[in-house]
Chain A
């Protein structure tokens, strides 16, 4: 199971900053991010591309989503 990062409730640009920090610190090639707004989901999807990662899957979770991101092939 990949590490689950909870960025729910954080205001801009924290969800992206936390996700990028976790990518830097992560030893695996996949992370799951828990978000509660569509804005955070879109921003994370946009920004992870800049470090060579991509969105693999988006699942609804409560009022938000779990986004699975991974290193781009």
Chain B
């Protein structure tokens, strides 16, 4: 085998290090100002970006999170350095957009992506257990579809703009964030909205968040870190490679929380969480099914987009639009419980995702 294609991050030690780095840095970002038990949550942070852009008007969740920008840029830099930037697209794009949409709908009923489910657990939030069980259930349904021949079809090599557009959008977001910085006591700065209270107002310093996220994006691109893939590979192949990464994330976040005095076990009054067990379970089950059908967790979709995958970029866009709909239409939960239309949204989400699972079958060759 050519020595140049060996990748130390693709080893089990590499994935454990990646998970550990994410866990430690996420807990540290909480200490530095990010919302508790949400040091890094891809769903919440994309939701905050939708708010910052005025796509929804939930005043407490509006901030143009630099973490999302950094994940894509870090992955892009890694892909360029290691010659893995390969623009590609064409594997059922609109389906991926819709999967992203309903992944976000489910995640916002639970109040977090799989990363946050682990971070909530590591912070002592027992409600996360139901979310993680739901995620496992959703991914398990996804594996049944894989066994029955679900296949969204092939992507094809594509012109550079297809792989670069989401990266450039992230650069544009960063420029907007610099041109229109938050102003003390003001809910708007230029074209951007800023929360004055609630999770959107809790933020680590820009440069720290950006640097941490670029680092995570870089090593996650190299290691192929994926929380959904971790469960899927365990179920489908009895392979624990990726799973060791998510265990590492939870363990190192837990240890860092202990050291920083951020571990508070319990089920009630947990930060930015509710205790409606069934909806925590079903919300994450819907998200898990959507992630499985799309081939990766929200973080992984950002890293794939950074290496040029236009379909993953569309999944990300679907999530941001899904967040806007979730808050505009009352799908999203809050610490008080599920929203007025969460149940309807979850039912519609399951119907759509199950239909996609049954209907998307293509010949392999």
Contact = CB atoms under 8 A, between A and B. Distances in A.
Contacts of B239: 46-47, 50
A71 interface: no
A65 B156 CA distance: 15
A60 B155 CA distance: 19
Interface string A15-44: 011100000000000000000111101110
A6 B86 contact: no
Contact of B229 (A13, A42, A55, A57): A13
B10 A42 contact: yes
B155 A9 contact: yes
B146 A38 contact: no
B7 A6 contact: no
A1 interface: no
A14 B151 contact: yes
Contacts of A9: 88, 90-91, 154-156
Contact of B91 (A11, A41, A50, A65): A11
B94 interface: no
Contact of B155 (A11, A13, A16, A41): A11
B152 A47 contact: no
A13 B233 contact: yes
A63 interface: yes
Interface string B63-83: 000000000000000000010
B295 A12 contact: yes
B84 to A, nearest CB: 6
A63 B155 CA distance: 14
Classify chain A: how many residues form its interface, as a range.
20 to 34
A24 B189 CA distance: 60
Interface residues of B, number: 34
Nearest to A17: B146
Interface in B330-365: 364-365
Contacts of A47: 237, 239
B232 interface: yes
Contact of A57 (B1, B90, B156, B295): B1
B169 interface: no
Nearest to A64: B86
A46 B5 contact: no
A41 to B, nearest CB: 7
B91 A13 contact: no
Given A11-B155, A14-B151, A63-B157, A58 B2 contact: yes
B224 interface: yes
A6 B311 CA distance: 20
B241 interface: yes
A4 B1 CA distance: 19
Nearest to B82: A38
A72 interface: no
A13 B154 contact: no
A2 B224 CA distance: 30
B296 interface: yes
A11 B5 contact: no
Contact of B5 (A8, A41, A43, A50): A41
Contacts of B156: 9
A11 to B, nearest CB: 4
A7 to B, nearest CB: 8
A13 B86 contact: no
Contacts of A8: 154
5 contacts: A13-B229, A13-B233, A17-B146, A57-B1, A60-B2
Given A10-B154, A12-B229, A38-B5, 18 more contacts: A6-B365, A10-B91, A11-B295, A12-B295, A13-B229, A13-B237, A13-B295, A14-B151, A14-B364, A17-B236, A36-B86, A36-B157, A38-B7, A41-B5, A46-B239, A58-B5, A60-B2, A65-B5
Interface of A: 6, 8-14, 16-18, 36-39, 41-43, 46-47, 50, 55, 57-58, 60, 63, 65
Interface of B: 1-2, 5, 7, 10, 82, 84, 86, 88, 90-91, 146, 151-152, 154-157, 224, 226, 229, 232-233, 236-239, 241, 294-296, 311, 364-365
